[in-house]
Amino acid sequence: MAITVDETSIALHDAVPAPYAIDVRAVTKRYATRTGAVQALAGVDVTVAAGEVVALVGPSGCGKSTLLRIIAGLEQPDAGEVRLFGLSPAQARREHRFGIAFQAAALLEWRDAAANVALPLELAGWPPARRTQRVAELLARMGLSDAASRLPRQLSGGMQQRVALARALALAPPVLLLDEPFSALDELTREQLQGELLDLLATIEPAPAVLLVTHNLAEAVLLADRVVVLSRRPAQVLAEVPIDLPRPRRAELRDDEHLHRLVAEVRTVLRSDG
């Protein structure tokens, strides 16, 4: 079943033509600490085209998640500029131009799975009948129809992340921001959700632009069209590695020799950063 964008989202998508879904230019970020200022990002440039999947990798603590939070408008850069389809992060948030999912599912404990997915629809003012239909569609697509009335504590970690992804997709945003969404899961569950995400992205029309933060190189190569490699802090872009694996892409590709060569290429770039 294809997940289609409703007419409101299409209108928003067409309203502001722009060359990139995500356009990060010369972004710099510093933090004040008790021992002095720490620079997290130093002039980072990243672009993501409409419908493209870009993975952001780098050493632990290099500023990957900080950059994603800046793109989402949750933090402000000290210098540089971020645009999503030509809009500032604040404007993009008001116009429901992006969805976001984090490492922790961050579900509201007092709301069941269906009500968690429905939250952005409620905030956007969707009428109840339309919300119910959309939530049922998303839960079915994520294999969660039988779990609609369960509270978060009654769901496994993998099921919680499915709910979080469904919530991020509720308003059919043209941009999807994923901050290590599978890193807290066991390996088998992680691999299963990687495959489900590949299947999901192949059915959304039009396909969203996706920026994925991950420390797992195989995951980055499996999911992305391009891998952006960040340096140690303060982070700069070391390289961009194009991923020429075919789409539609299947999880079975994780055993492909060419995928392993691409992972090795990304690893070599990381190791070159003294």
pLDDT band at 252 (very low <50, low <70, confident <90, very high): confident
Mind listing the pLDDT tens digit for each residue in 21-47? 999 999 999 988 788 788 899 999 999
Beta bridge partners of 57: 229
Helix (H, G, I), strand (E, B) or coil at 57: strand
Neighbour tally for 28: CB within 10 Å:
16
Asked if residue 19 is part of any domain, the answer here is yes
Do 121 and 257 lie in a common domain?
no
Mean pLDDT (the chain, rounded): 90
pLDDT band at 189 (very low <50, low <70, confident <90, very high): confident
pLDDT over 90 percentage in the chain: 71
Does 170 have pLDDT greater than 80? yes
pLDDT confidence of residue 250: 86
CB of 23 closer than 8 Å to CB of 71: no
Q: What is the pLDDT of residue 13?
A: 45
User: Per-residue pLDDT averaged across 178-202, rounded?
Assistant: 88
More confident residue, 7 or 140: 140
Q: Looking at the structure, do residues 194 and 253 belong to the same domain, yes or no? A: yes
Q: Which of 66-80, 119-133, 184-198, 234-248 has the lowest mean pLDDT?
A: 184-198
The predicted model gives 151-179 an average pLDDT of 94
Read off the pLDDT of residues 113-149 as tens digits, 9 standing for 90 and up: 999 999 999 999 999 999 999 999 999 988 899 999 9
Whether 224 maps to a domain, the answer reads yes
Domain of 162, in residue numbers: 108-172
What is the total count of domains within the chain? 2
* Residues 19, 48 share a domain: yes
Give me the pLDDT at residue 12, please.
44
Q: Would you state the pLDDT for residue 201?
A: 87
The strand ranges marked E within the chain are 3-4, 22-33, 36-48, 53-57, 79-84, 98-101, 175-179, 204-205, 209-213, 226-230, 237-242
Are 184 and 247 within one domain? yes
Q: Are residues 56 and 138 in the same domain?
A: no
81/117 same-domain check: no
What is the CATH number for 204? 3.40.50.300
Q: Which of 172, 199, 218 is the last residue of a domain?
A: 172
User: Residue 105: pLDDT band by 50, 70, 90 thresholds?
Assistant: confident
pLDDT for 15 beyond 50 = no
Residue of 240, 234, 272, 188 whose CA lies nearest to 61: 234
The H-or-E segment that residue 129 falls in is: helix 128-141
Q: Are residues 61 and 81 in the same domain?
A: yes
pTM: 0.89
Other Cβ atoms less than 10 A from the Cβ of 192: the count is 15
pLDDT band at 274 (very low <50, low <70, confident <90, very high): low
Look at residue 240 and give its three-state secondary structure.
Answer: strand
Antiparallel, parallel or unpaired: β 79-84 and 22-33: antiparallel
From 172, 193, 216, the end of a domain falls on 172
Is there a contact between 73 and 91 (Cβ–Cβ < 8 Å)?
no
Mean pLDDT across the stretch 233-245?
94
- Quick one: pLDDT at residue 202? 87
